Structure 1
Amino acid sequence: MTNYRTFSPSLQHKIDTLKARRESIQLGSIGFDSPLLLAPMSSICTAPYRLLMEQLGAGGTVSELVSCHGINYKNDKTIKMLEIHPLEKNIGLQLFGEDPQAMADAAKFAQDCNPDTPTKFVDINMGCPVRKVVSKGGGSALLKEPVKLGKFFSTIKKELNIPLTIKIRTGWDSDSINAPEVIHIAKEEGIEFVAIHGRTRTQGYSGLASWELLEDIAKLKILPMIGNGDLHSSYMVKERMKQTDCQALMLGRGPLRDPFIFLDSYKTDEDNFHFTPTDHLEVIERFHEYLEDYCDRERTILITLRKNIVWMVAGYPNVTHFRNAMFRAADIKETMAITKEFLTELGESKKQIDHTQTFMAGGHG
């Protein structure tokens, strides 16, 4: 296993200080290091990003959605998506598909990959609203016919000796809010926990997540429940943690622009430190190392690095000029040099992100 660079003593002290305030939780038979988990996001939650977020305070992570048919056809690109880094320890592998036996076969294959991972579970994607997934009967389309879900869950579960979980939405549309019915069926079939995104499929990522509805469902205590939706800042996370009946919260888009959100959510007014531009640079440099270790193609590394850097530096002064320079960079070396120069010159600047502006509303799994 590669020996990665260590964080500076200053950054590591901040990380350790805030990590020490977390409390581990148990959701069914699955343990996590904190109640703040990384949500699965398509083309984002690969092993390098999951590992980075786990090291920056996420209590556990879930992979990007992986096609059961791609697994069963032994497609090399799809199989690569099941890869778990040796340093990851709380990871769910999320599968999508419409056919119960195909899902069961793929789930068994996913289970048998990376057998040494300390905590691993299979998660069924029942929330993706993207047309190419839904049109074939997968993702949130599974919510349309709950009468079929008992067999769907049982067929998959009988092939596994690790836990099975689900991620859903509140319903297909505002006229079919059926999350409680789906969760009751899941409980009967031995599902360990449910994560719920607070929108219907027809909403996509528009409007606001309905936390009032999520809290009403959590109060029913059918299964251990994770709430998900619009937790874009550490302030939002802190406020939700004070009042939620959910056992855990799942953060998706928030960590993309604030890689320290899992830690900052435990920060108090008494703490006399903040995460600086230099801290962000250290995180980007480590992420670069993880990508180099994981990806074979330089082009893939460059594209992934660029988009994540642009997200991570959002909210800093002069970021528009920086973004333009980034996408003119010829290669990885120039990309990293531009990033280092930009973040170093910012000194102790603090981020100011406008969370009222739409961010990634086009869908990500």
Structure 2
Amino acid sequence: MKIKAAVTHAQGKDFSIEEVRLSGPKSNEVLVKVVATGVCHTDAVARDLAISPYPIVLGHEGSGIVEQVGENVTSLAAGDHVVMSFAHCGQCENCLTGHPTVCAAFNDLNFGGRMEDQTYRLHQGDTDLGTFFGQSSFSTHVVAHERNVVKVDKDVDLALLGPLGCGIQTGAGTVLNRLKPEFGTSIAIYGCGAVGLSAIMAAKIAGCQQIFAIDVHDSRLELARELGATHTLNGKNVDVVGEIRKAADGGTHYAVESTGVPPVVRQCLNALRPLGQAAIVGVTPEMNIDVHNDLMAEGKSMIGVIEGDSVPRVFIPKLVEFYKAGKFPFDKLIKFYPFDQINQAFEDSQKGVVVKPILKLA
């Protein structure tokens, strides 16, 4: 079928909305009409840093309505409202033990440009176009494996839900699934973008007594306070480590680092109390740490977390229920853009004008 998609033809090029051809769903796959899709930093990385082959259709936070199911699909039916998340094999040890975010085939399935059977679903003339995260949601329709498609409640505005598939799931899941802070403990969240603010909301759900939000934009710190932060610190104006140690009895029990900025990573470690745990979720370049003083000497832990260590088909419906109950108001992060303003949405996101852009396609 002919569809419209935002094609990335080469490294660093603007998105170009063009007509492409989409092959129908094969066994265990579904055809989804995309209603909306989040704009995520990972899409910008893929556009600019060649982590996937070009030409490609990016996008990996899609929400939509199932229009057709392929053979052997048992969990979904036409008309279902769905959110699409990351691809995973479902067969390796990590998938089978509830950790599909570290699937043995994760990089190939999400960044390799092909579907699980090593074929393409997107075409333009005689050229095959790469698929991203097993979905390529910067398009009016997608074909995805049922394994990475999550059925959601029809009572909630479907256009809001796409970012639950990646950024929001990453922040909330890092707190609720991996760190699992004990009631009454303290946590610091470094970076108040969509990931960090989702972590703040999750920390409030978990019952953290002190929730520190660290950023360099006062507007984002104000929103962090509204969403549950008990302390806000502008890293340009204060000694973050000193302020946290003073307010948190020597340091926080937990930290989530979402910026990927090496000096901030060091801050998150140095502001932990002994036995504290830091989860790194930002894309961080090569950097140096003092293993003895920053970690070992005080029994601290630093862990990497991908996609919030979530099982999307379990965790995303839970986030929807928290949202319906008024405990996870992620809609406050969102600004909608029409599909043809995709490049503007990315520019606004990069400048910090908006926390979480969502493109509306239907």
TM-score by length of 2: 0.30
- The structure with more strand, counted as a fraction of residues: 2
**Higher share in helix:** 1
Alignment TM-score, normalising by the size of structure 1:
0.30
